Amino acid sequence: MHSRLETYLDEVAARLGPLPAKARTDELREMRAHLEAAHAAGVERGQSEDEAARAVPAQFGTPDVVGAETVAAWRRGVSLNRRSFWGAAAFGFGFLLLLPRLLHLLVVAYFRPFAFHPPVWAMSFVLSWEAISYLLLGGIVGVLFPRRAVSAVALAWGARTVWSIVLWVPLWTRVTQPNGFWPSFILQQVAWSVAGVSLSLLGAWAGRRWRRRGGRGGVRVARG
Amino acid sequence: MRRELAKGDLPALVLAVLGEGPRHGYALAREVERLSDGALHLREGTLYPALRVLEQDGLIVGTWETQAKGADRKVYALTEAGWGEREKRTQALRDYATLLQMVLGRIGHAQPA
């Protein structure tokens, strides 16, 4: 590329400091392609190499303006990601807290499987319902908050696990427990959370994929 | 008469042009100029931040393409959401142009006191 354009690009690069390295590289890579194409077009129109190299930055904009607008656009993206992450984590955590209450209502108040069906059936019903709910949670988060769905679901589950342990420890310590209760209890909570978060993450991955491919964010080839 | 494109109108025009087919940034700028017979030009450095905002909103998606000669190019295409937004924003621009024409038309007919 012409040295004048390299200097111009260096001046723009100097104003992209707030951007992380990869974002900065991508922006400059795109601008470089544009400047090269504009320069080549200028030469094709009959300008000399130097004339075209002088005209292109004037058409592109001052490094201050280009740098400031590029940084502002990047910051907007960071802000949207942050909102998406915390929104998804709050949604996930709220859902996970609400789920036991809903299950309690369904099982005890309306279906009463323990009263009319064998315990194995009842447990299968409860476990299936929970598994579907965790998948659904992940799917909803993936569709609504695709940017940070996976990490937000992991955070929601981490918070929920800590909440469960903090909630149940004072209750269980009031009663004398048999030997080996606590390791078994903690192991059960962690195992349950691992299973649940795996299902939620699978749902989040599927939801995000659906949104980015065939759903609200899918790419369609231009008509005509 | 050559006129610089207003910054607020840029996203709508980008969506409108991408409706004709995927393009990279330079081709987008040239197409806007071509469609206006050279009368409308944009500060090309402001095009890429506008493209970034449209990407963040999920209205367009960019894909890098390796070129046999020269720098790699990022080609943009409309997403499903982008198609819907394109209709809305281009109609809003058309309505605005019609309103301006109506106001200026009435002023033109007013007689001095």
Question: What is the pTM for the complete model shown?
Answer: 0.65
Confidence (pLDDT) at B49: 93
Cα end-to-end distance, chain A, whole Å: 36
Strand partners, B64: B74
Q: What angle separates helix A21-44 from helix A49-60, to the nearest 10 degrees?
A: 130
Nearest to B44 among A36, A61, A223 (CB): A61
**Lookup: tokens for A21:** 């390295």
Contact B79 A217 (CB under 8 A): yes
Contact A34 B83 (CB under 8 A): no
Q: For A56, name the nearest residue in chain B, comparing CA atoms only.
A: B44
Percent of chain B with pLDDT over 70: 88
Comparing A219 with A130, the larger pLDDT belongs to: A130
Confidence (pLDDT) at B110: 57
Interface residue A217 vs chain B (CB under 8 A): yes
Separation of alpha carbons A44 and B47, rounded Å: 23
pLDDT tens digits, residue range A87-107? 677 777 677 667 666 666 666
Per CB-CB distance under 8 Å, the chain B contacts of A75 are none
pLDDT tens digits, residue range A53-76? 999 998 898 999 999 999 999 998
Comparing B4 with B94, the larger pLDDT belongs to: B94
Separation of alpha carbons B23 and A26, rounded Å: 17
Residue A130: partners with Cβ closer than 8 Å, 6 or more residues away: A99, A103, A196
- CB half-sphere exposure, B78, CA atoms < 13 A: 24
For A166, list phi and psi in degrees, rounded to 5.
-65, -35
pLDDT tens digits, residue range B20-31? 999 999 999 888
